[in-house]
Structure 1
Amino acid sequence: MDGRQKKEEEDGEAVRLRREIGPVRAVSFIIGTVVGSGIFIAPKGVLANSGGVGLSLVVWALCGVLSLLGALCYAELGTTFTKSGGHYTYLLETLGPLPAFLRLWVEFLFIRPAVASYVSLAFGRYVVEPFFAPCEAPTPLIRLVSILGVTFVVAINCWSVTVASRTQVTLTFIKTFALVLIIVPGIMALAKGKTENFQKGFELEALTPDRLPLAFYNGLYAYGGWFYLNTVTEEVINPNRTIPLAIVCSMVTVTVLYVLVNVSYYTVMTPGELLLSDAVAVTFASRALQGMSAVIPLLVALSCLGALNGGFFSSPRMLFVGAREGHWPPIFSMIHIRRHTPLPAVLFLYPLVVLMLITEEIQHLISLASFARWFFIALATLGMLVHRYRFPQLPRPFKVPLVIPVTFTAVCFFIVGLSLYSDPWNTGRSCALTLTGVPVYYAVVRRSRLPPGCRRVFDYCSKQLQILLEVAQQDVKTY
């Protein structure tokens, strides 16, 4: 047996995460995570808070540009710091352990459960409502179907990284087809001269500056997911090339598709009709795609499932890296010995999402999650600027012009600051929940002040969980 064959066999037996995400899977991963429930639900929120058709289209385009700028910043971060973990890793490397721990804390306290709950409820609604139309579908049934969708996604992410990534590629093609199916009839109607809904699109009477940040939050929610590839850097093949290429291709494609979808919506539907619709894509299909109107809810449900799968694929990697760095219990840094998946980290999310699905009022979830998410994204890009200043000679395989991170960071902080004025209740709640992590960090993480008895119980439970789940620490360092 030669040395190369021996190394391949050893790699095959090693307990570690594999590099299995190439350019096609990376692009599919980003598009499949970005395009979820947002484009089918958020147009109502963008229009209601922007005050007009023209301004709402401007908001959609600006959200796409802003997301692209942020994605380019994260491409630099992802090629500078080769560890997985995304936001957590970048904050840890640039601004220190406390901001990194707080990002980890809010991700699993409410950001990921809130986002996953919102997307899964959209999945449940689009699956159930066609069977009850024109009557209202029962809420308990919607929640039950949502939980089944979450359970399916958790199962495939526990089973295999390859199966999860192939599922993402398949669902990405399906959801792209759904967007094209919406765009084509709308553009055809626009070409025939159906432009009455655009003629007074830039009247500013209905615009209220205090509500504009909420319009951007709804739009940015629909674009959310451009940063998820960075959470799995250690599983990307040739990340220095793949990450920037996938990010640019994906975000340009999504921005063009989103703007065209909204143009199509406004061509076929009046602003009043759009504001009255809880399922914009279904209302659109009933008017423009009468022969295929029954297909649209299914395609939208699959689109939501793809976004849910992308979230459950990426977010546990942040917890995995946090545990590896000592900011979370060690059991969450372990990998299944045969499946090579971060099983404990994936399973940890499941009860949190189900609990929020059952108890939380869904209409406030976007604002609750968006404030903390965008605040820490702004901190991460600010950290990138600080790191550039402190270590100017450090090799950066992909480096963006200085104006991009400066502009992006300033805009993010501006939107976050305005949101405190626009929606003080939800942003205040988000702030308070974030700050609860400070005493936890100083009491438990930094100084490890657990009493000896508690530590023995904790270690015993961790050992039993390790045996039950059949997990172990990584055999080799891959970052």
Structure 2
Amino acid sequence: MSRENTLLSASNGGPKQSPVRSNSSDGEKSARQRSQTPKVEFETERVELKKSIKFSGALAILLGNLGGASIFIAPTTILSLTGSPGLAVLMWCVGGLVTLSIAVSVCELALLLPRAGGPYIYTLQVFGNIPGFIILWGFVIFIGFPSWALAAYTGALYMLSLVYPDCPPPESAVKLLAAWLLVGLVALNCTYTSYVTKLQGFFTMAKASAMLIIIISALTTVTSDHTQENLKHFMDNSNTDFGRLCLSVFAGYFSYGGWQIITVLMEEVQNPVKDVPRALVSAMLIAIFLFVLTNMAFYMVLTPNEALQSDAIAMTFGRRLHASLPYLLAILVTLCCIGSVNVVVMGQPRILYAAACLGHMPRLFAMLHYKFLTPWPATFTMFLGALYMLLSGTVALLINYISLYVCIMLLVLLLALLHLRYSHPDREQPFKVPIPVLIVQVILTFALISVSVYEKPHELGFCLLILASAIPVYIVFIYWSNKPRAFVHLVDSFTDFIRKLFLLELPTTYINNHR
């Protein structure tokens, strides 16, 4: 036990230690220190992530993060692939059900390996260090930084649409407001996790309310000539090309994306075996139901050309029905975007935290604040990466590669579950997805990746190049153990400075893994 740990424990109401004279030569000093050691260890064991998420919190987190705010901005990607509103709505349903089945399989894997870190931890424990680090590297670059920046930018854009109703807001103003939005939510998530979990329920209600308003508003127009004309041509120009239909299911992976966040927060769920499967299935079914009806509502009021030309389809929909409806939808969508940022800020730093606990990230990322028990260094690092992408505009370059990386990651996770089924056939678990279903999911995911590569080969090349860059990073910074002493001393000094500056401590998980 380090001297700093002992002093920190005492300064927070822990066991007080009497001053010890430096010239003491009898055995009383040793006896007194031995008798106090268990008390200090007790304080150290409390430096862990809090189990503060109940079923309602897990449900709110999932509903708030599923698809983010994409349903209100540009749900027409699938329409551009299918050609007709009717087929687009059908593929939204199919994509949701496919995603649900894969999510249940990954949930089984998560319950077998219930640790914070999500896909990275599962890949690491099943396939080893290098594959695990590659998944971690890709997750941070393709999902972590871009999702923070994109959600914050979208929220800021809708906020400013209330001030600039007739013209696009200045780009600099949008980025500045998005940056402040990130700062505020990072501050909240670093201090009061239980509070922001409750607050997430409010943001989720805003998202659901916006979709219900859109659905009900469309139903009021069902007898109008314009809506009847749109319904009459609902299946016109349907594109039944197999490749295009596969790409529409592929796009559904992104449209229903975000459910993986619950696997990242696994260690903070109070009863993961019971609550995580219930929350995941409930959230996915609710999302499929609302997303399909919301798309149906859009295409009842708007023509395909109007929908495809819109950058924010919810606002276009509102303007067609009532002059005040766009303002109401803008407020609700803004709250939805804030909720999306809140969820990723809450969950994704836990991946860096888990990686650091296992030695795949700097030791600093494994540290928690001694009072709030949240991973401050990991959260600040994600914030800085997202801020760079937001201000530099590089997030737009990565948007096209997110779905492809997600498919690759899901394929790896499905193969990991099959491997565990084969190597540990008698292992007890809460539920088991049938093996034939798993095999079909693997084949389907591989087929979707293959079709995507055939249609857009450059995307695969760039995605694989980014993933391959993880290997030299792993070799130099992790595998190479005999680094120069000056470099090691510099890193240790910086780590110790940050630890003292922000009152951080290493959790018991890290201490146990590095004894």
Pair 1:259-2:259 in alignment = no
Output the amino acid matched with 1:469: F
Q: Does 1:413 align with 2:449?
A: no
Determine whether 1:471 maps to 2:497: no
Give a deviation string over 1:100-127, Cα, whole Å, max 9, x none: 1111112223321122222222112111
Q: Which runs of 5+ in 1 are unaligned?
A: 1-6
Q: Cα distance 1:285–1:365, how it changes in 2: closer, same or farther (>3 A)?
A: farther
Q: Which has the larger radius of gyration?
A: 2
How many angstroms apart in 2 are the aligned matches of 1:376 and 1:362?
20
Question: 1:198 deviation in Å?
Answer: 3.4
In 2 relative to 1, CA 204–391 (structure 1 residues): closer, same or farther, beyond 3 Å? farther
Task: Indicate conservation of the 8 Å contact 2:74/2:313, yes or no.
Answer: no
For the Cα contact (< 8 Å) 1:42–1:219, is it kept in 2? no
Q: Deviations over 1:243-299 (max 9, x none)?
A: 111011110000000000000000111111111111100111112343432111111
Q: Matched residue of 1:189: which SS?
A: coil
8 Å contact from structure 2 (residues 47, 508) kept in 1 = yes
Per the alignment, residue 131 of structure 2 pairs with 99
- Of 146, 151, 154, which aligns to 1:119? 151
Quick one: which amino acid aligns to residue 152 of structure 1?
A: G
| Alignment pair present for 1:294 and 2:327 | yes
Is residue 2:388 matched to residue 1:328?
no
Count residues in correspondence.
471
The match for 1:431 is 464
Residues 381-402 of structure 1: CA deviation (Å, up to 9, x unaligned): 1110111011101111222222
Give the superposition deviation at 1:59: 1.9
State the SS of the aligned residue for 2:343. Answer: helix
Matched, 1:31 2:63: yes
**C-alpha deviation, 1:171, in angstroms:** 0.8
Classify the secondary structure of the residue corresponding to 2:220: helix
RMSD: 2.3
Q: Which residue is 2:402 aligned to?
A: 369
Contact kept in structure 2, 1:85 and 1:322, CA below 8 Å: yes
Which of the residues 275, 282, 288 maps onto 1:249?
282
Q: Please, which of 111, 115, 136 is the counterpart of residue 79 of structure 1? A: 111
Deviates more, 1:184-193 or 1:304-313: 184-193
SS of equivalent to 2:222? helix
How far apart are the structure 2 equivalents of 1:363 and 1:329?
A: 28
Corresponding residue to 2:100 among 64, 68, 71: 68
SS in 2 for 1:100: helix
Structure 2 partner of 1:4: none
**1:222 and 2:255 are equivalent in the alignment:** yes
Structure 2's unaligned 5+ residue stretches are: 1-38
Question: In the aligned structure 2, how far is the partner of 1:77 from the partner of 1:352?
Answer: 29
CA gap of 1:468–1:216, structure 2 versus 1, over 3 A, is farther
CA-to-partner distance for each residue in 1:120-145, whole Å, 9 max, x for gaps?
A: 22112111123223222221111112
Contact 1:84 1:231 in 2 (8 A): yes
The residue type paired with residue 113 of structure 2 is: F
Deviations 1:59-108 (A, max 9, x none): 21112112211210122112111211110111112222211111111222
Q: C-alpha distance in 1, partners of 2:159/2:285?
A: 30
What is the aligned partner in structure 2 of residue 3 from structure 1? none
Counterpart of 1:399?
432
Give the Cα separation in 1 of the matches to 2:194 and 2:319. Answer: 37
- For 1:67 and 1:125, how far apart are their aligned partners in 2? 29
Distance 2:142 2:238 in 1: 36
How high is the sequence identity, in percent, across the aligned residues?
28
Return the TM-score normalized by structure 2: 0.86
Q: In the aligned structure 2, how far is the partner of 1:98 from the partner of 1:401?
A: 29
Q: Could you say if the C-alpha distance between residues 204 and 283 of structure 1 is closer, same or farther in structure 2, counting changes exceeding 3 Å?
A: closer
Instruction: Measure how far apart 1:188 and its partner are.
Output: 3.4
In 2 relative to 1, CA 42–293 (structure 1 residues): closer, same or farther, beyond 3 Å? closer
Structure 1 match to 2:270: 237
Partner of 1:156: 188
Cα gap change, 1:218 to 1:317, in 2 (>3 Å): same
